[in-house]
Amino acid sequence: MAKILIYNNGTDRMETYYKGEQEAMPYNVNRTLTVNEFRGSSKSQILWTDKRTMQSWNNFRALYGAPIFVGFAFKRCWEGGHGILSQHYAGVAFDVGQNLNSQKRDYMRNLARASGYWRYIEPEVDTPRWVHFDDRWIASGYPLTQFRK
Ligand SMILES: [Zn+2]
């Protein structure tokens, strides 16, 4: 059983859920993202994300039209990641498609860019064996140092 904190962007309030590992994440539709998938390798008892990120997932998953393998999403800052400050620590990023060949990953990456559902998609040179997309906050939020690049 995981405790899941969801920032509801519409109401500006935090919501708390308790879900089993095989249950769908809060706000997920059609069980396309389970708690276990969102957790990835994280050992954390508490997970967090925001409602907007879950809705972006729903929209992108519907557009893609097939199951998406999720290698990693949530991470605590001591659990690794591909940056000193990563959007994975904010619970708004996904590393997916580790099971695809490079052509299919290119297709997913391009679809993610074209969809407009994600704020940032890592270029292939930085993510050769997976696809990273996230719903980072632009004007404010965490972590601001990401925007100094
Ligand atoms: Zn990533």
Q: Report the C-alpha gap between 122 and 105 in whole angstroms.
A: 12
Q: What separation in Å is there between the alpha carbon of 98 and the centre of ligand 1?
A: 11
Q: Report the C-alpha gap between 129 and 24 in whole angstroms.
A: 26
Over the stretch 93-144, which tens digit does the pLDDT of each residue have?
999 999 999 999 999 999 999 999 999 999 999 999 999 999 987 644 454 4
Q: What separation in Å is there between the alpha carbon of 95 and the centre of ligand 1?
A: 5
Q: What separation in Å is there between the alpha carbon of 3 and the centre of ligand 1?
A: 22
User: Could you tell me the CATH number of the domain that includes residue 62?
Assistant: 3.30.1380
Q: Which of 7-11, 40-44, 76-80 has the lowest mean pLDDT?
A: 76-80
Q: How confident is the model at residue 77 (pLDDT cuts 50, 70, 90)?
A: confident
- For the chain, how far is it from start to end, CA to CA, in angstroms? 38
Provide the domain limits for residue 111.
Answer: 2-148
User: Does this model's pTM top 0.75?
Assistant: yes
- Say what the pLDDT of residue 80 is: 74
Q: Which residues contact 56 (CB under 8 A, 6 or more apart)?
A: 117, 118, 135
Q: What separation in Å is there between the alpha carbon of 57 and the centre of ligand 1?
A: 14
Name the residues around ion ligand 1, CB cutoff 5 A: 95, 132
Q: What separation in Å is there between the alpha carbon of 48 and the centre of ligand 1?
A: 16
Rg, the chain, Cα only: 14
Q: Which of 42-46, 59-63, 87-91, 135-139 has the lowest mean pLDDT?
A: 135-139
- Say what the pLDDT of residue 138 is: 60
Residue 148 reports pLDDT greater than 80: no
Q: What separation in Å is there between the alpha carbon of 9 and the centre of ligand 1?
A: 22
- Say what the pLDDT of residue 137 is: 79
Q: What separation in Å is there between the alpha carbon of 135 and the centre of ligand 1?
A: 11
- Say what the pLDDT of residue 135 is: 93
Over the stretch 6-38, which tens digit does the pLDDT of each residue have?
999 999 999 999 999 999 999 999 999 999 999
**Residue 44, amino acid:** S
Q: What separation in Å is there between the alpha carbon of 38 and the centre of ligand 1?
A: 12
Q: Report the C-alpha gap between 80 and 66 in whole angstroms.
A: 28
Q: Report the C-alpha gap between 86 and 139 in whole angstroms.
A: 16
Q: How many domains does the chain have?
A: 1
